[in-house]
A and B are shown apart, each in its own frame.
Chain A
């Protein structure tokens, strides 16, 4: 078929496709049944135009139409609460266990540095000032000083909610940055992980030196279970990405990246959910210093047990070998 005849005959379908593409929602429904066959006719036109070497502009136009139709045809995605539930209950902990080595590495780095710096500050109290500016240490002392004003009366309910919003914004942003930094050969993740580990250790050591341990530890123990673990996991996800840039196992670097990104995405998603839980605890439970110490320590221990059980056992007993992303 010559070009002009081809255009004259097929133009109607192309215009129809453009019209259908502009429809959405309710308006699209009546024509949805005929859309796949229209898509196939357009694809055939594209192949014809190419095979007959028609005018490049016509081919380009058909190319764009096929792309747009393809997007429309595959544009609807199934989403279900069951999928989210499965992600939380089994996919996330399974992926974490599949990649236990990187988790162990991140854990050792974080808690190792925290313990080292805490030990240093405990044995040489003045070294705290080498790590942090005096103003920051003073703020910390104020926050956990049992004699400070804000400890005398309970915070207002609106204050709790405000802190919740702040923890979401601040902590999840930190987790995302820690993760994203990992794509730069893992350096970004290591940096943020080390920074957080050292400052946690220094603050803990310094507050113990100041004698505030009974206001500090009951405060951090409960939400720390979720928060510290989530920070470690987000660094782990970043390290997976960074690692894949070096160890490609015969794949192209880009492909190696893409494969590592799958479990990394699961991990950072899970870490974000854990941080939401941590924010709830931190805002609405941790600051309840009017409750007895024993209860607060016990609830904190329960939180740690829960996190350990969740990550260690979640998704076990199901079908084996279905962890998302597989082993890398």
Chain B
């Protein structure tokens, strides 16, 4: 679809193709979301590390100290990897931010790729503070740090919560007439009109009219309609969505 293709050149969306030949869009997550996720993960792994080391130290008289070293080794290098591999690409931090590590075709991150991107974290955080990751992420279109480049992975938004469900139904006011568009509309125009209808209840009448005025004219609103601009666009949206027919 040409509309989507031009969106991609401006936006940071990445097209993913499945083996079934289906194309869908991945939204790479930016710096802040990932920084917060990393902070959460650091706190959690720190807590696991501290508590685990305390318990194991208490038991060290029986088991010996080797188990503490193995535990430290596992947490240091495999905290992220194990959550990414066994948790569907989501560490606890990524889960809180609604993020997921995926391969560029959207399939689950492989153990090898997960290990690579996480072992290279050492280089990305070289001399602390992630500034190498910061530079490489801002320099790439899909926010990849060095580890992501080498492993060929993406960190994308993947919400599984229900916020979208709650927004999924548009409230259609009864008093709005259904209006047939005066001309054929492009896909982009249709989506703009539908998006307006969705946002209408939160806009307030004044603001809604302000936004709609110019656009309604280009869509064929004239004085004969005797309608507010926002009402006119809502009417078009009703027609497009097939409400009241």
Contacts and interface: CB of A to CB of B under 8 A. Distances in A.
A43 B119 CA distance: 35
Contact of B242 (A4, A179, A181, A188): A4
Interface in A154-183: 158, 161-166, 168-170, 172-173, 176-177, 179-183
A21 B160 contact: yes
B150 interface: yes
A303 interface: no
Interface stretch (B120-128, B212-220, B221-229): B120-128
Nearest to B144: A254
B66 A71 contact: no
Interface stretch (A47-55, A130-138, A203-211, A312-320): A47-55
B123 A184 contact: yes
Given A43-B18, A63-B24, A57 B167 contact: yes
B115 interface: yes
Interface stretch (A27-35, A92-100, A107-115, A257-265): A257-265
A19 interface: no
B207 to A, nearest CB: 20
A66 interface: yes
Interface string B95-108: 00000101000111
A67 interface: yes
A327 interface: no
B1 interface: yes
A163 B194 CA distance: 67
A322 interface: no
Nearest to B13: A63
B205 interface: no
Q: Which of A21, A164, A265 has the most CB of B within 10 A?
A: A265
A5 interface: yes
Contacts of A161: 64, 66
Interface residues of B, number: 71
Contacts, number: 172
Contacts of B198: 55, 57
A158 B64 contact: yes
B29 interface: no
B112 interface: yes
Nearest to B105: A70
Given A55-B195, A158-B64, A169 B26 contact: no
Contact of B190 (A53, A170, A260, A264): A53
B51 interface: no
Contacts of A63: 24-25
B191 A53 contact: yes
Contacts of A241: 150
A55 B242 contact: no
Nearest to B125: A180
Contact of A67 (B26, B73, B144, B168): B26
A63 B159 CA distance: 10
A257 B242 contact: no
A257 B149 contact: yes
B201 to A, nearest CB: 14
B167 to A, nearest CB: 6
**Which 5 pairs of residues, A with B, have the shortest CB-CB distance?**
A2-B242, A165-B66, A165-B69, A53-B187, A180-B122
21 contacts: A4-B241, A4-B243, A43-B20, A43-B22, A53-B3, A53-B190, A55-B194, A61-B164, A66-B22, A66-B24, A67-B26, A158-B64, A164-B66, A166-B69, A168-B69, A173-B73, A188-B123, A254-B144, A257-B146, A258-B150, A261-B116
Interface of A: 1-5, 7, 21, 39-40, 43, 46-47, 50-51, 53-58, 60-61, 63-64, 66-68, 70-71, 74-75, 77, 158, 161-166, 168-170, 172-173, 176-177, 179-184, 188, 241, 253-254, 257-258, 260-261, 264-265, 268
